[in-house]
Amino acid sequence: MIGGKVVEKALLNLGASVNLLPYSIYKQLGLGELKPTSITVSLANRSVKIPRGIIEDVLVQVDNFYYPVDFVVLDTDPIVKEANYVPIILGRPFLATSNAIINCRNGLMQLTFGNMTLELNIFYMSKKLITSEEKEGPEEVCIIDTLVEEHCNQNRQDKLNESLGDLEEGLPEPSDVLATLQETPKLNLKPLPMELKYTYLEENKQCPVIISSSLTTPQEISLLEVLKRCKKAIGWQTSDLKGIIPLVCTHHIYMEEEAKPIRQPQRRLNPHLQEVVRAEVLKLLQAGIIYPISDSPWVSPTQVVQKKSGITMVQNEKGEEITTRLTSGWKVCIDYIKLNVVIRKDHFPLPFINQVLERVSGHAFYCFLDGYSGYFQIEIDFEDQEKTTFTCPFGTYGYRRMPFGLCNAPATFQRCMLSTFEECLVNLEAVLNKCIEKDLVLNWEKCHFMVHQGIVLGHIIFEKGIEVDKAKVELIVKLSSPTTVKGVRQFLGHAGFYRRFIKDFSKLSKPLCELLAKDAKFIWDERSQIVRAPNWQLPFEVMCDASDFTIGAVLGQREDGKPYVIYYASKTLNEAQRNYTTIEKELLVVVFALDKFCAYLVGSFIIVFTDHSALKYLLTKQENEEINLLEPQKA
């Protein structure tokens, strides 16, 4: 749109040093008086013409962006077929004003307006047929562009086909994964727990989804109606990923000052893992997530790890059925450790696990939505794509979308999720419609609809509260007894993840902390209580106790006169604190508990329980001049 009127076609031309506007179009637009000029214009046919004048600061609208443009008005009115008529030329001045970046390799052009970016496909936008019947005029400039474009487009396709051909010939024929890349994918329906079942959004058992098996018929029909209306939000294969709109979220890789490029060699892979890498590269190439690159100063190596997808039921040594994630194959990852060292860190706040669990627990029905390769749906800023270059036995490639392993990727993803879901958590249909609006695709296999419980961040949430994931406990139980300092540290890290569920955790772990009994075992039994989310309308109760070596506290509440636990906390005393008197230790545990549970207690009514009555005197005393007992950590 120019001057408030729609213009169907315009030619972007790097070879034009001015912006050209035919006099006939100028009169139609009614842009005001022309300013005289003494310049001459040399056209593509080498003829020289004198312009009518210059019109300044004409607003040109491209999509939602507005740019002020100065046009040279030329007295030319070619007689051409309407379908091929390109009346306006936008030259280098316009490209400079719009801060245009043209990527001939990818066929993309970016225009910038403030902090927003518009991306155009130049191969698609610039196609134009020229016939011998066309007369002289500004549009003749595009003859060379058209020929060069067709040649480059064909050459680019040939290079891509050659790259894919090299991959296909590099090793013996791969497994069925490659054979199905061009076909409708045959989804592998894994066994499900009793409380889940498969259902389908299309006939002939197409487009499966996972729902609760305990829904009534009317409930299931209502749920399927919502899912069918919002089917575009769910993906069943990588090619379903459209990519989140760049204006919503784009990943940037900002480097530390004086950071130098890092090039690492590729790592050895056995033939089986090479086939895994080749299949992954082919899949990502065809989905447009990666592209071949040969001249990047940043190169990182490839590694292959096991991946988990979906859930199933297994029996532990006691014969109990527990829910666990399936190890369904291999995941190709890029080792960005050295690159991450020189990346400027993004300190976007991530949510606290405890707060997330407390917000979502205590409901009868849950819908678990999981982004389909969520990182691969976020665009990387064009200037930063070469920094993601990785090497493998089949060449070097760069990512157009955000890969796993970059240090700031979680912050970018969290920022994107907040902008996508913040205002649409009222019901499932609203969330799915928001996903469709932002082009966020969900993974059908990891989405569970209207279930009564599920695993969130390693914890089981359900109507009664929060439990530990028994599969995680089984892994901890099966860990071998630590024999080194590093082993002890790793074991305590695993067990400490659930310390809020374990009463007197510090007492249980004290021998390990002091490396006195390296064969101490982590013990879990059925008597461990279910931890519940807090009721903010009720007062909190803090129960404190201290011993010679550890202190412990329990945060709880009472409902209908019955107590229940919200949080366990404990701590091993250091050498200085062990020298405290009994009364000082008893007060220390109160200070520790109030600090530990501060997020719960601020603004709430609190009852503190202690078995040391002398504390009442100290807590009611206005000041103690001899020793500040409220800051024992400075001892």
- Which residues of 500-596 form beta strands (DSSP E)? 540-546, 550-559, 562-572
- How many domains in the chain? 4
Let me know: does 430 contact 437? Beta carbons within 8 Å. no
Determine the straight-line distance between the first and last CA of the chain, rounded to whole angstroms.
73
Give the model's pLDDT for residue 477: 62
188 belongs to a structural domain:
no
For 582-612, write each residue's pLDDT tens digit: 888 888 999 999 988 887 887 788 888 888 8
507/609 same-domain check: no
- How far is Cα 294 from Cα 390, in angstroms, rounded to an integer? 10
Element (DSSP H or E) covering residue 421: helix 409-421
Let me know: does 541 contact 607? Beta carbons within 8 Å. yes
| Helices 505-513, 485-496: crossing angle, 10 deg rounding | 170
Give the model's pLDDT for residue 388: 92
439/495 same-domain check: no
Residue whose structure tokens are 């359900």: 462
35's tokens: 């300013």
Q: Which of 91, 125, 159 is the last residue of a domain?
A: 125
166's tokens: 């090299």
- SS3 call for 140: helix
625 belongs to a structural domain:
no
- SS3 call for 433: helix
329 φ/ψ angles, rounded to the nearest 5 degrees: 165, -150
312 belongs to a structural domain:
yes
589 belongs to a structural domain:
yes
- How far is Cα 458 from Cα 467, in angstroms, rounded to an integer? 9
116 belongs to a structural domain:
yes
538 DSSP assignment: S
Give the model's pLDDT for residue 592: 92
25/92 same-domain check: yes
DSSP secondary structure, 350-379, as one string: PPPHHHHHHHH-S-S-EEE--BTTGGGGSE
447/490 same-domain check: no
429's tokens: 């249909």
Residues of the chain with pLDDT under 70: 3-4, 45-47, 76-86, 123-186, 308-328, 350, 357, 359-366, 370-372, 374, 417-428, 444, 446, 448-488, 491-531, 619, 621-635
Give the model's pLDDT for residue 471: 64
311/424 same-domain check: yes
Give the model's pLDDT for residue 293: 85
CA torsion 168→173→178→182, rounded to 10°?
Answer: 70
379/496 same-domain check: no
21 DSSP assignment: E
Give the model's pLDDT for residue 179: 36
- SS3 call for 342: coil
Q: Residue 379: beta bridge partners?
A: 250, 401
Q: Which of 75, 110, 125 is the last residue of a domain?
A: 125
Residues 6+ apart with CB under 8 A from 477: 521, 522, 524
- How far is Cα 162 from Cα 168, in angstroms, rounded to an integer? 10
- How far is Cα 453 from Cα 439, in angstroms, rounded to an integer? 28
623 DSSP assignment: -
- SS3 call for 212: strand
502/576 same-domain check: no
Residue 507: domain span: 479-515
430/554 same-domain check: no
Burial of 53 (0-12, 13-18, 19+ CB in 10 A): middle
Output the domain CATH number for residue 120. Answer: 2.40.70.10
Task: Using alpha carbons only, give the angle 395, 184, 398 rounded to the nearest 5 degrees.
Answer: 20
Give the model's pLDDT for residue 299: 93
Let me know: does 479 contact 544? Beta carbons within 8 Å. no
Residues 6+ apart with CB under 8 A from 182: none
Taking Cα atoms as reference points, which of 239, 325, 233 lies closest to residue 282? Answer: 239
279/387 same-domain check: yes
Q: Residue 313: beta bridge partners?
A: 323
Q: What is the CA radius of gyration of the chain?
A: 33
Amino acid at 574: N
64 belongs to a structural domain:
yes
- SS3 call for 121: strand
497 belongs to a structural domain:
yes
Task: Using alpha carbons only, give the angle 543, 549, 551 rounded to the nearest 5 degrees.
Answer: 15
508/581 same-domain check: no
- SS3 call for 476: helix
Let me know: does 432 contact 232? Beta carbons within 8 Å. no
322/375 same-domain check: yes
555/422 same-domain check: no
Give the model's pLDDT for residue 33: 80
5 belongs to a structural domain:
no
Ramachandran region, residue 454 (left: φ > 0; alpha: ψ -120 to 50; beta: rest): beta
Helix, strand, coil in percent for the chain, rounding step 5: 30, 25, 40
